[in-house]
Amino acid sequence: MEKIICGIQQMGIGVPNVQESWKWYRKFFGVNVRVFEEAAEAPLMTRYTGGVVHSRTATLALSMEGGGGFEIWQFTSRPTEKATFDIQAGDFGLYVCKIKSRDVAASYHYFKSNGAELLSSQPIKAPNGKLTFFAKDPNGNLFQVVDGRGYFSNTGHSSRCGGPSGTIIGVSDIDNALPLYRDILGYDKIEYDVSDAFEDLSALPSGNGRFRRVLLTHSAERKGPFARLLGPTEIELIQSLDRTDCRKIFENRFWGDWGFIHLCFDIQGMELLKAECDAKGFSFTVDSGDTFDMGEAGGRFSYIEDPDGTWIEFVETHKVPIMKKLGWYINLKNRKPGKYLPNWMLKTMGLNKVKD
């Protein structure tokens, strides 16, 4: 057995209304395939919910274009709380979700013509020379549409977008964060490491300042059951070089509150990963142990924190529904580690598409 990081499974998003938010994500990102939808309590997360077991409803949705999914998460036992301050570039945590696009200019035109709130006045070049733009969802969450790689299928969605392909994470010290993102998570390739003021970031709150930016990708192709669907991903670490007032995005709030609550990786070899995280100073803070039942799906999950307290989730998937009505599930517990699921089997997940 070995530790395998199979890819970004999903970005967790705390929202005030799951169905309204998901409808917007379907329209603009094409994440219209339901993997599971479940209402339950979250007893294992009390470390991050004030020591109280809270109830929630959650939907995991993805796009058959490829990329990760969204775990759209809503408290049902309390209101979902917003940050009490305006989140700005350089604040610590999951700041932006990156979305892959087949044609960034065409995606921009679709977003603009369909009334999305755009922060960028036009697509602009990032430090890697590729076009990008920033948009906001109706809850104020930031998304960066980037030039995509590694598509699973062509759904023909009008926005030309696929699922999440990475994130921008605000950190206090990039060099301090690299041992986690580069060494443990396997983002070993530095696409750029630049310090300056940047035209593309200027669209963001406090984005006119000077930043150090490190864009990380992985030199090895991801492997594992869902790796072909999840595709290649990138993590961009940003550190403000000007601000002395940076704050944690989830300061004084619960996991599950308004915003990007976690970055989740699909993995294999949880015990080996646990040992490595322990050895490198990123011990599990939550561990479900054995199989945690999500109603229609199951697996073992755990959490760690990066040096600034950002939540990283790991899921070792054991069971995934294909056709719930027929009792058809993929059982992954006894499959050879690192082995891909056949494309035809992955494509059957598209049978759970939600149509608007």
Query: Where do the domains of the chain lie?
Result: 4-9+11-297+330-352
**Are residues 36 and 295 in contact, defined by beta-carbon separation less than 8 angstroms?**
yes
Q: What is the mean pLDDT of residues 289-316?
A: 84
Q: Partners of 39 in the beta sheet? A: 57
The pLDDT confidence band at residue 121, using thresholds 50, 70 and 90, is very high
**Using alpha carbons only, what angle is made at residue 199 by residues 194 and 200, rounded to the nearest 5 degrees?**
85
Percentage with pLDDT > 90 across the chain: 87
Protein fold of 4-9+11-297+330-352: 2,3-Dihydroxybiphenyl 1,2-Dioxygenase; domain 1 (3.10.180)
Confidence of residue 297 (pLDDT cuts 50, 70, 90): low
Give the pLDDT mean for 98-117.
98
What is the rounded CA–CA span in Å between residue 356 and residue 353?
A: 10
Tens-place pLDDT, residues 210-255: 999 999 999 999 999 999 999 999 999 999 999 999 999 999 999 9
Contact 7, 230 (CB under 8 A): yes
| C-alpha atoms less than 13 angstroms from C-alpha of 186 in its C-beta half-sphere | 18
Tell me if residue 345 falls in helix, strand or coil: helix
Residue 135 pairs in a beta bridge with 118, 143
pLDDT of amino acid 324: 63
Cα 180 to Cα 25, 186, 252, 277: the distances in Å are 30, 9, 24, 9
Closest CA to 85 of 242, 308, 263, 258: 258
pLDDT at 320 over 90: no
- Which pTM value belongs to this model? 0.96
Confidence of residue 193 (pLDDT cuts 50, 70, 90): very high
Asked whether 139 and 258 are in contact (CB, 8 A), the reply is yes
Average pLDDT for residues 119-126, to the nearest whole number?
97
Q: What's the number of CA atoms in the CB half-sphere (13 Å) around residue 149?
A: 9
